[in-house]
Structure 1
Amino acid sequence: MDSSNHKLYHVHGFDSREYLENYFSDKPDMVFAEDSLIFPIEQLKKTFQLGHIKGDILIDICMGSFIHHLYSACEFFKHMIVLKVNDRCILELKRWVDTRTGAFHWGHAAQIHAEIEGKSDQLEDKEGKVRSALQHVVKCDPEKENITEPIDLPPADCIISSLLLAAISKNKDDYIRYLRKFTKMLKPGGHFILVELLETTYLTIRKDKLHMLKYDEEFARKALIGEGFVIDHCEVKKRTNVSDLTDYKGVMFIVAHKVN
């Protein structure tokens, strides 16, 4: 498929609500739940319950305005700082945080968390904790050396990056360059959690096809090791759904810590 006309997420933007409806909602025809919701939720629960990834600051730098991956993290960090590359995603996120009319409904994701953790009676409390934690939303520009310029963020104990690196990288050199910028925000010994689609070239949002960098697990591993990381855990889930909205082959979850 010719990808020359595909749009770049951080350059052209996209319909943030349509993205959520297509890939993260509870609509009957939304076929991606196993990959986009259940798999990362299960992996993050296992990761954080080990107890060694915690601290003062978590930085979240992900594509779009989804928040379901933060339900597990909010229990282990005093502050969560969310970075977004475009204003529409910031507005979409703040609409949910402030419980405004028309906010995207995340109750189905909260329910998945509660069922996995065996704490269905604490559903409202869990949503309240996430909302309280999401008070620090910062605009960022991945092209700047300090992506949050003019703000200097304190170093993070952990960074979660989901789908963004593939969405903003035109080639593998770009991927390494952006990965280096993101991980510079970590404390020595800090952890980097990466969730990405493998072997994909596009995501469809309305009539637009959004560029995604095609790469495999081996490339991701080598990229992290090249930046001074030790990989603690890697899990890949093969795609089982059928949809022409996107062409990914699998979902990858990596946990790594920085050693130099």
Structure 2
Amino acid sequence: MDKGGLGLLATLYQYISVSRDYVAQVWKPHLRFRCSSEDSITLLLQYLQQSFILSYIHAIRVVIMSEFTTFTEGEFYEGHFDSRAYVKSFYSCSSGHADEKNYLTFVLRCLSRVFSAGKRSLSIESLSLTVLFFLNNFDTDVCFKGEHKGKRLIDVGSGPSIHSVLSACEHYDEIVLSDFANNNRREIEKWLKNQEGSLDWKPILQYVCELEGKSLSDLEATLKQRVKKVLKCDVRLENPFYPHTLEPADCVITSLCLEAACKDIQTYCRALHGLTELLRPGGLLVMIGVLGESFYKVDEQLFSCLRLSRDGIEEALRGLGLSIQEFNILPAEDRENNSVSDFEAIFHLVARKPSE
């Protein structure tokens, strides 16, 4: 980003701060004539301040995205994505990045519920978070079924991470991890082989173990034993693993991949079709993603993202014949103070391919 763009961003952030003061100083005297209590005044002020702030967030998004002359597809990741900085920023603890307010906790708990329901003991913190999830669009008809099992699981677009398959690994005999970027695959291989300098996944492993009543050493050993391949994938291809042809899987997981890899909704729908082709009839598709995100940042490097909506995702899945079993949403908190992304919500969904 050039100096002009940075200057404009600085000005917009300054306006956010000024707008808060403006609302408080200018509007509060007028509201006193129209509201019967201080509580009513406070609520109205907060609403007005939020409206100002969201307007400036939209302007900031426009400025940032204007810096991308092209969508940052897979080829850009090869030379610009810092795998270790990514894990350090977003996976160093179970809650994830501080600016994203329990994003990772939401994801880990959703995955645990899908694959290992009923094995955990809930703490007071866990109970309150579970209640929050229910308030944010859990499909209560299918909650807590858990323990999906099978022979083969494929994780499409793993990045340098293993978190997506921790709860699932003991329920599948063979696991394939994958990513487009060579460096991401190397980091996974280093961890699987216990090589010196490999990434530290103990905080995330420990959290999942506490959820599910498992031993950290047993969970780590199980995952390393069950992962059979780490392959290059490109979700833009009809066969994401070309030139390899994989046997149909009982479960396909993808997390934060498609919206980062697909420049438009047509490419996104084709990628979804490619994922469903990896599934056996009756197989399970588990997706983690973000709604309304146009960018995210890793160690000051910006990456573009396809803005998605729940309606658009549901339409695409149903168009492919999948039945959506649950679609869970956690809205973003404190968006004006998120320095690493602009997502509106995190989603987790489970869909099933029709049986033949």
The equivalent of 1:34 in structure 2 is 102
**Aligned counterpart, 1:58:** 153
Q: Which residue of 2 aligns with 1:71?
A: 166
Higher helix share: 2
Which position in structure 2 is the counterpart of 1:17? 84
Greater relative CO (CA pairs within 8 A, separation 6+): 1
1:206 matches 2:299 = yes
Query: Aligned with 1:237: secondary structure?
Result: strand
With normalisation by structure 2, the TM-score equals 0.68
Letter in 1 for 2:281: P
Query: Does the aligned pair in 1 maintain the 2:157–2:233 contact within 8 Å?
Result: no
Larger Rg: 2
For residues 1-260 of structure 1, the aligned pairs below 5 Å read 1-2=62-63, 3-6=65-68, 8-13=72-77, 14-26=81-93, 30-31=97-98, 32=100, 34-36=102-104, 38-49=105-116, 50-51=145-146, 53-119=148-214, 122-240=215-333, 242-259=337-354
Residue correspondences, number: 257
Q: Alpha carbons of 1:63 and 1:126: their partners in 2 closer, same or farther (altered >3 Å)?
A: closer
- 1:227 maps to a residue whose letter is L
Q: Distance in 2 between matches of 1:27 and 1:70?
A: 15
**Going by fraction, where is strand more abundant, 1 or 2?**
1
Amino acid at match of 1:35: Y
Asked whether the 8 Å contact 2:147–2:171 carries over to 1, the reply is no
Give the TM-score of the pair, scaled to structure 1: 0.92
What is the aligned-residue identity percentage? 28
Q: 1:185 to 1:18 in 2, by over 3 A?
A: same
Q: Structure 1: how far apart are the matches of 2:112 and 2:298?
A: 29
CA distance in 2, matches of 1:29, 1:179: 26
Alpha-carbon distance, 1:109 to partner: 0.5
2: distance between equivalents of 1:115 and 1:150?
40
AA matched with 2:102: E
Measured against aligned partners, the alpha-carbon deviations of 1:16-70 in whole angstroms (never above 9, x if no partner) come to: 111111211139993147202x111111111113356211100001252111121
Deviations 1:173-218 (A, max 9, x none): 1110111112111101111001001110011122321011111112
C-alpha offsets along residues 140-183 of structure 1, whole Å, 9 cap, x if unaligned? 22333222122110000110011111001111111101111121
CA gap of 1:184–1:211, structure 2 versus 1, over 3 A, is: same
Cα distance in 2 for residues equivalent to 1:176 and 1:27:
31
Q: How far has the Cα of 1:249 moved from its partner?
A: 1.4
Q: Deviations over 1:117-138 (max 9, x none)?
A: 133xx11111111111223111
Aligned structure 1 segments of 4 or more residues deviating by more than 6 angstroms: none
RMSD: 2.0
The 3-state SS of whatever aligns with 2:351 is strand
